[in-house]
Every structure is written in structure tokens, then in C-alpha cells.
Amino acid sequence: MARPSLKQHWMSKISDDEWEKHRKISVDRLNNTNIVAGLVLTTSAIFVSTQPPLTSFLPYTIRGCYVLALGSFAHALGGLLSGLAVVNIYGSCDRIWAKRVLTSTRFRLCCTLLFMGWPTVSLTLSIMFLMLSLMIACYASGVWWLQFLATVEILSWAWLPPLFAWCALEETLPPKLRTLRRPTGP
């Protein structure tokens, strides 16, 4: 849950105050994910259940787009379902029960972490499927300026994940080179 290691997860099991802070942060994050999943679920449901007003302009009911919109709907629904389940269970359990039951074995710990992370994974897949569906519909339309705008949109988003990954990862330079790179101030 947005941490590089399990250290904070284990530290939360030591005292009730730490547990309450950890549980509140986890449940709040999952609640935010559930809200977004509900919005994406509604959006994808609209694309799955309605005919386009101008089929020649944005034909999102062609087979490929429709299948991707269904995939988006299914992942948003599954993410919302699992997110609500985790919020209800994790939000109501106490520190001792979480320690003795949810994390009692390595397998249970892995399953618990998977359940806690699955709503975000599912939401990400849902958004990607819906974006891909709309992109394909733009290219299938044959409208040159819509295709141009879709290309500009794709290019404006394509550089963000690599840039974020580069910014989020720790520097892997050896200590000797790291000290050479840092300027010394006056």
C-alpha cells in the first residue's frame, strides 16, 4: 500500500496508536480508489449500453472497442467489489486480529497484500482498457482531425510513465560517484 517495504506494516502491529494510523491511511486510500472505480464503472457502463449519437464520428460500438469497454466495466466492477470488501474487513478489524489472522502465515500475508492492492491494479486496467477503446474508436472514425487529436493525446501521455518511474526510483550510483555529483555550497 504505497510503501517500499513491509516495515511500516509490521510496525503498525506493535501498538494500538500505530495500528489506528496505519488502518486509517489504508482505508482512506481504498475509499478514494473505490470512488474512482465507481466513476469509471459508470463511464464504461454508458459506453457499453448506449449507441453513439454519431456513429460515423466516434464508432465506439465496433467489436474491438466494445470488448475493451466490457473489459473496463468488468475490471471496474471487480475492483470496486474487492475494494469494498477490503474496506469493510480491514476497517473493522483490530490490531491483534490482523496480526493473528491476516498475517499469521506467509501465504496469508501475501493474500492480504494482494487483496489490498487488487482494487488499484483492477482500476488501472479498467482505465487503460477504456482509454484504448476510445483511442481505437477515434482511429476507426476516419475523421482526420480526430485521429490527429488522438495521436497528440497519446504522445502527451506516453512519456509520463517512464518519467515517473525514473523520478520514483532511487539513484543506483555508487557512493563515490554520488558524492562527486553533489555540488558543495559556500
Q: What does the pLDDT read at residue 9? A: 73
pLDDT at res. 172: 66
State the amino acid at position 85 in one-letter form: A
Output the CA–CA distances (angstroms, integers) from residue 139 to 58, 142, 154, in the order listed. Answer: 9, 6, 12
Please tell me the predicted confidence (pLDDT) of residue 74.
Answer: 97
Highest mean pLDDT among 7-11, 47-51, 178-182: 47-51
pLDDT band at 1 (very low <50, low <70, confident <90, very high): low
Helices 144-158 and 160-168: angle between axes, nearest 10 degrees: 10
What's the rounded mean pLDDT across residues 153-163?
A: 85
Query: Which amino acid appears at position 89 of this protein?
Result: I
Residue 181, pLDDT score = 54
Full-model pTM: 0.80
Q: What is the model's pLDDT at position 160?
A: 85
HSE value, Cβ hemisphere, 13 Å, CA-based, for 51: 4
Is pLDDT of 184 > 60? Answer: no
Distance between CA atoms of 173 and 7, rounded to whole angstroms?
Answer: 24
pLDDT confidence tier of residue 66, bands split at 50, 70 and 90: very high
**Measured distance CA(121)–CA(6) in Å, rounded:** 19
Average per-residue pLDDT for the chain: 87
pLDDT in tens, 95-133: 899 889 988 899 998 998 899 999 999 999 999 999 999
Q: Mean of the pLDDT values across residues 14-35?
A: 90
